[in-house]
Amino acid sequence: MKSLASINTKDIETIKMALNDAISDINMELKNALSEAKMKEVMEYKTRYTRVYDKLRTNPSIYALAEYELDIAAGGLNDAIEMLEENMADDLDDQEKSDILTYKNDCQRVIDILAG
């Protein structure tokens, strides 16, 4: 079992990239017609993800995050994995597929550490 101490600079970058991807996906979702309740829910996720992302940009250390923010980071990583799975296209070349798989595996590895 790995501890938070095993999260390195590359892992922080993975978390930030996943949060950024999740925020971008939320921005796309917000362009659709949503009920007021759904709009509020989506905006709350965007606010949470943005807060954690900004905190990691300011202080790129896992210890900069409170326990509930670690849960938010894990949620962003999960969302990024879902987006990768939904958008994996057959028309990607081998290098693109390899890059996506590496990113997905990095996200899963960090989730496993956070869940530890």
- Over the stretch 11-62, which tens digit does the pLDDT of each residue have? 999 999 999 999 999 999 999 999 999 999 999 999 999 999 999 999 999 9
What pTM, to 2 d.p., does this model score? 0.91
Q: Which of 54, 86, 100, 101 is nearest to 73 (CA)?
A: 54
- Residues 14-37 as b/e (b if ≥16 CB within 10 A, e otherwise) read bbbbbbbbbbebbeeeeeeeeeee
| Terminal Cα distance for the chain, rounded | 6
What's the pLDDT score for residue 49?
Answer: 98
